[in-house]
Every structure is written in C-alpha cells, then in structure tokens.
Amino acid sequence: MKDWEHSSVVFNFRVAGVAISRNRLLVHRAERETNWSLPGGRIQPLEFSDSALVREMSEELGASVTVERTLWVMENLFGYAEGKQVHEVCFYYLMRLADDDPLHDNESDFDGEEAGERLVFRWLPLSELAAAPFNPEMLKERLLNIPDSPEVIRANDLG
C-alpha cells in the first residue's frame, strides 16, 4: 500500500532519545496530551535516524546532544485518537546533553516547541517512572535496566 493518508492506519517513522541526568529521565509531551514520552520526532526522507535526533533536540529545545549508542529498535502497533491505528517504527538512542547545558538544572516543567505547538518537558525522577502516565508503557522497565547492546522490540496493542 503506497497511500497511507487515505487510510485509518498511520505509519510513523520516528526517533527518540534517552537522556538521564541526576537519576532523572528527560520526558516530554504535547501540551494537549497527558502521557509523557521520550523526546524525539519524525525522521525525514534521506535522513539517518541519529541525525534526526540531533536535529529534533536542537529544534525543540535548542539543545546540542551527543548520540552515544542504539538502545532499541521498536516496531509498535497501537491505537490513537479518533479511531486511528498506528504502525510505528522507532529508533531509540542513548543521548547525552553537554555537562554544562543549563537544562540539567531545571527542577520543574520547561517549554519546548514543535511546529508552533508548545511541548512540555520534564526531568522525571526514575523513582517515579513506574507510576507516571508514559507511552509506550512497555519501555518503563527497560528504561530502568538500560541494555548493554541493542534490542529489537515488537509490540501489538491492537489485539
């Protein structure tokens, strides 16, 4: 199938970064949403996924990050707003903000932006991750036990 736009199924090719600072995980959400997720965004055509993560963090936060290594590649099938079904492929990378980046010092929510939409960022204490509304849920345990080598994850929440 070539034309996804006329379907109730959305294909999403995404990248996300895992940044941990002072036993806190960097998370974000769109202002209109309630669940947190790992920051990142869509990979553009002819763009490598690690480069897309560097670009997205610069665009959304003005942050310069270093991509350290691949953690997971996830193929995920799930439901979303308005009855949409999503087929997502996401590369997850361990990333690092510069040690002197002032973002490390934020103790409360802080703003980012994507295409004119406000993004809310937070350093979520790892001790609070299990109880936090977070997508994808299955990553919570993995985020507390970062793997030594890349893993492939397949998930189907559609049934």
The domain that contains 42 carries what CATH number?
3.90.79.10
- Host domain of residue 54: 9-98+108-156
User: 65-112, pLDDT tens digit by residue?
Assistant: 999 999 999 999 998 877 889 999 999 999 999 999 999 999 999 998
Beta-sheet pairing, 151-156 with 65-79: parallel
Domain assignment present for residue 18? The answer is: yes
What is the model's pLDDT at position 130? 97
The answer as to whether 85 is a domain residue is yes
Based on the structure, what is the number of domains in the chain? 1
The answer to whether residue 75 sits within a structural domain is yes
On whether residue 51 sits in a domain, the answer given is yes
pLDDT tens-place string over residues 110-127: 998 887 889 999 999 999
What is the percent of the chain with per-residue pLDDT over 70, rounded to a whole number?
Answer: 96
Assigned domain for 115 exists: yes
Q: How confident is the model at residue 51 (pLDDT cuts 50, 70, 90)?
A: very high
Q: State mean pLDDT over 143-151.
A: 97
Domain assignment present for residue 4? The answer is no
Residue 1 lies in a domain: no
56 within domain boundaries: yes
Asked if the model's pLDDT at residue 3 lies above 70, the reply is no
